[in-house]
Amino acid sequence: MANHSRFTPGILKKARWHIQDNQVTPESVFKARRHIVKAMGLGAIGASISGYVQAGLFDLFGEQPQTSFITTPLTFEANARFGQDEVRTPFDKVTTHNNFYEFGTSKQDPSDNAQQYKVEPWQLRIEGEVERPITLDYQDLTKLFPLEERIYRLRCVEAWSMVIPWVGFPLAALLKKVGVTSKGKYVAFETAFDPEQMPGQKSRLMGGGIHYPYVEGLTIAEAMNELTLMSVGLYGKTLPPQNGAPIRLVVPWKYGFKSIKSIVRIRVMDKQPPTSWNQLAPHEYGFYANVNPAVDHPRWSQASERRIGEGGLFSAQRIDTLPFNGYSEFVASLYEGMDLRQFY
Ligand code: MTE
If you write DSSP's letter for every residue of 95-129 in order, what string do you get?
A: TTS---GGG-SSTTHHHHHSTT----S-EEEEEES
Binding site membership of 212 for ligand 1 (Cβ less than 6 Å): no
Q: How would residue 68 be classed by pLDDT, with cut points 50, 70 and 90? A: low
Domain membership flag for residue 341: no
Domain membership flag for residue 55: yes
Binding site membership of 104 for ligand 1 (Cβ less than 6 Å): no
Domain membership flag for residue 60: yes
Q: Is residue 277 pLDDT above 80, yes or no?
A: yes
- The pLDDT assigned to 104 comes to 98
Ligand 1 centre to CA of 48 (Å) is 32
Q: Domain range holding 178?
A: 21-335
End-to-end CA distance of the chain: 19
Please report, as a single letter, which amino acid is at residue 242: Q
Q: What is the bridge-based pairing of β-strands 160-170 and 229-234? A: antiparallel
The runs of H, that is alpha helices, within 64-198 are 91-94, 109-113, 138-143, 171-178
Domain membership flag for residue 343: no
- The pLDDT assigned to 181 comes to 98
**Strand intervals (E) in the chain:** 77-78, 123-128, 134-137, 148-155, 160-170, 186-191, 215-219, 229-234, 237-238, 248-250, 263-269, 304-307, 317-320
Query: How large a percentage of the chain has pLDDT more than 90?
Result: 76
Measure the CA–CA gap between 223 and 129, rounded to whole angstroms: 14
Measure the CA–CA gap between 2 and 109, rounded to whole angstroms: 25
Domain membership flag for residue 11: no
Q: Where is pLDDT greater, at 136 or 17?
A: 136
* Rg (the chain; Cα; Å): 20
Domain membership flag for residue 3: no
Q: What is the bridge-based pairing of β-strands 237-238 and 248-250? A: unpaired
Three-class secondary structure of residue 134 per DSSP: strand
Q: How would residue 93 be classed by pLDDT, with cut points 50, 70 and 90? A: very high
| Mean pLDDT over each residue of the chain, to the nearest integer | 84
Q: How would residue 306 be classed by pLDDT, with cut points 50, 70 and 90? A: very high
Domain membership flag for residue 8: no
Measure the CA–CA gap between 254 and 289, rounded to whole angstroms: 6
Q: Is residue 61 pLDDT above 70, yes or no?
A: no
Ligand 1 atom at shortest distance from the alpha carbon of 9: 14
Q: What is the dihedral of CA 109, 110, 116, 120, to 10 degrees?
A: 160
Binding site membership of 243 for ligand 1 (Cβ less than 6 Å): yes
Nearest CA to 178 out of 223, 132, 129 is that of: 132
Pocket residue to mutate for ligand 1, from 98, 105, 261, most atoms within 8 A of Cβ: 261
Domain membership flag for residue 13: no
CATH of the domain at 44: 3.90.420.10
Q: What is the mean pLDDT of residues 321-341?
A: 97
Q: CA angle, corner 54, sides to 48 and 55, nearest 5? A: 165
- Partners of residue 134 on adjacent β-strands: 126
CB-based contact 87:163 (threshold 8 Å): yes
Number of domains composing the chain: 1
Binding site membership of 200 for ligand 1 (Cβ less than 6 Å): no
Q: How would residue 185 be classed by pLDDT, with cut points 50, 70 and 90? A: very high
Pocket residue to mutate for ligand 1, from 89, 119, 158, 257, most atoms within 8 A of Cβ: 257
Pocket residue to mutate for ligand 1, from 64, 94, 99, 162, most atoms within 8 A of Cβ: 99
Supply the pTM of this predicted model: 0.83
260: number of Cβ within 10 Å: 24
Please report, as a single letter, which amino acid is at residue 329: E
Give the distance from CA 51 to its chain's centroid.
Answer: 24
